Chains A and B, each alone.
Chain A
Amino acid sequence: MISEKLVKDVTIELLRKTVTKMTDDVVNELKNAMKNETEEVPRMQLKAILDNLDLAEKTKAPLCQDTGVTIFYVNLPRCLNVDVEKGIVEGVREATKTVPLRPNAVHPLTRKNPGDNVGRKMPYVNFKVWDKDYVEMTVMTKGAGSENMSQLAMLTPSQGIKGIKEFILNVVLRAGSNPCPPTILGVGIGGSSDIATKLAKEALLRPIDKPNEDPDIASMEKELKDALNDLGIGVMGLGGKTTVLGVNIEYAYCHTASLPVAVNVQCWAARRGTAQIFPDGKVKYPTHER
């Protein structure tokens, strides 16, 4: 049976898995970067990153101290009579103590920190109703260093694909060494100002070894990744061949008079995790099966 208590317990376990263990797609790309890198300074940085991932997994400690603010994406079966949001909120509160997570959530103006990562509209839960009979919840624990480098541009339609690429390049240049490169770029194109921003973050939920289903978008992802890696910003902004680990693009139809583009910058510590809660109470963590 799916219950509020079960949602709470799954939230805690999902957060624990997500912050202590990186998904394979990112680990593999970091290992590829190590293979390609020849300079000593970036190699030293990559070694620290890979050693740290091993150590975090072995000691079950959060791999990065910035465990983010908790943003959830939840797919709900129709007619589920459970307060899933309450379960998530209580799960976050408990996980902050037990995992532990860093208490990051503060009032935006007074900067008061309640100490449990719970406040007005935080954790933030995005709900969708779907036709399946199980609950699927995905969480992203994203640090502020990279989130602070994210940007939105309301381009004109005449700026087109060229304008989009220019904007993405400028976001990466302006971010420089700040967002803990090598980064993953989540790009949202179209929709409206809010939809583009939302899509940019949702793009980061897709594994980086899985290109967009649309072959034209997929080739744009590859083109951007290859070109941006020639910039030489490198790991931690200390130079070298790896500036981005991946570029993921999502799009939505937009107004004929507008071309919104958003880039959500994600640090190398791209922690995301998914849990599935089935009607019989069984739970699976597909992103963390290994």
Chain B
Amino acid sequence: MRQMQARLKTPISEEQIRKLNVGDIVYLDGTVYTGRDEVHIHALEKAEHGEKPPVDFDRAVLYHCGPIMKKVGEEWVMVAAGPTTSSRMNSLEPKFIEKFRPAAIIGKGGMSQPTIDAMAKFGTVYLAITGGAAVLAAKGVKKVHGVHWFEFGMPEAIWVLETENFGPLIVGIDSHGKSLFADVDAVVKGNVDKVKKKLKIA
């Protein structure tokens, strides 16, 4: 696998996203929005009623993340901000991508086939960041511009983050239908018999 390294500034054009392939390394600059279960549910609910969520996700970056924030004076400061498990959003993400057209989604653990298909169709990539490495991730966040939907609680709100050299992120799913996680799954399936033999349960 030949890895390319890219530094991208948000918002990111479809042309830039289409150049990326699984295994490439990406660093981000610019605005990133956090959003997980509640953000997906409510943004899609709003869209159904012809309303808009409080931020524009078009060619923007969505981060599956529920951070720890601390209020210092009037300002929010990011303490820790690793990714949450993306697969919880599997059932809502294809619709979310179709409706809001984000350029990239950052998370951990990968996503299922309907999301891979939606990413190929609309020119979106999935960027994997190391789960649990929350202080390292927070280092790439220079400023917190604000928060929306705080009533859903700190982890479930939309945090508007200003990033600088945020990464390294690995392209886990590209916009050409390839997924690193699916590749690993195939390897794992091939190893199961060997493992069963070793455990004497074959």
Contacts and interface: CB of A to CB of B under 8 A. Distances in A.
Interface of A: 40-41, 44-45, 48-49, 51-52, 55-56, 59, 61-67, 100-104, 106, 111, 113, 115, 143-145, 148, 162, 165-166, 169, 173, 176-180, 223-224, 226-228, 230-234, 236-239, 267-269
Given A65-B66, A180-B131, A227-B199, 8 more contacts: A40-B3, A61-B135, A62-B68, A65-B82, A101-B68, A104-B155, A238-B180, A267-B131
Contact of B109 (A59, A165, A237): A237
Interface in B155-202: 155-156, 168, 170, 172, 180-181, 183-185, 187-188, 191-192, 194-196, 198-201
6 contacts: A64-B133, A65-B79, A180-B132, A236-B131, A237-B181, A238-B184
Nearest to B108: A236
A44 B168 contact: yes
A177 B132 CA distance: 13
Contacts of A230: 191, 194-195, 198
B153 A113 contact: yes
Interface of B: 3, 23, 38, 65-68, 70, 79-82, 84-85, 87-88, 108-110, 128, 130-136, 138-139, 152-156, 168, 170, 172, 180-181, 183-185, 187-188, 191-192, 194-196, 198-201
A176 B181 CA distance: 9
B3 to A, nearest CB: 8
A48 B191 CA distance: 27
Nearest to B196: A169
Per CB-CB distance, the 8 closest pairs between chain A and chain B, nearest first, are A113-B153, A52-B133, A180-B131, A48-B130, A65-B80, A269-B132, A227-B198, A177-B109
A66 to B, nearest CB: 7
A267 B132 contact: yes
A224 B152 CA distance: 41
Contacts of A44: 168, 170
Nearest to B23: A41
Nearest to B183: A239
A178 B68 contact: no
Given A48-B136, A62-B68, A224 B199 contact: yes
A100 B131 contact: no
Residue among B84, B172, B184, B187 facing the most chain A CB atoms (10 A cut-off): B184
Tell me the interface secondary structure of chain B in the complex: mixed
Contact of B184 (A49, A100, A106, A237): A237
A223 B168 CA distance: 35
A169 to B, nearest CB: 7
Given A51-B136, A56-B135, A102-B66, A178 B85 contact: yes
**Most chain A beta-carbon neighbours within 10 Å: one of B135, B153, B154, B201:** B135
Contacts of B172: 238
Nearest to A102: B68
Given A65-B67, A180-B108, A49 B187 contact: no
Given A62-B68, A176-B185, A237-B181, A166 B130 contact: no
Contacts of A111: 38, 152-153
A61 B153 contact: no
A69 to B, nearest CB: 12
Contacts of B108: 145, 177, 180, 236
A257 to B, nearest CB: 23
B6 to A, nearest CB: 15
A223 B3 CA distance: 36
A63 B130 CA distance: 12
Contact of B188 (A113, A145, A162, A173): A173
A165 B199 contact: yes
A231 B85 contact: no
A147 to B, nearest CB: 11
A52 B134 contact: yes
Given A115-B154, A166-B201, A55 B188 contact: no
B80 A145 contact: no
Nearest to A20: B135
A231 to B, nearest CB: 5
Given A180-B131, A239-B184, A227 B195 contact: yes
Contact of B68 (A49, A100, A224): A100
Contacts of B23: 41
Given A237-B109, A269-B132, A64 B80 contact: yes
B79 A64 contact: no
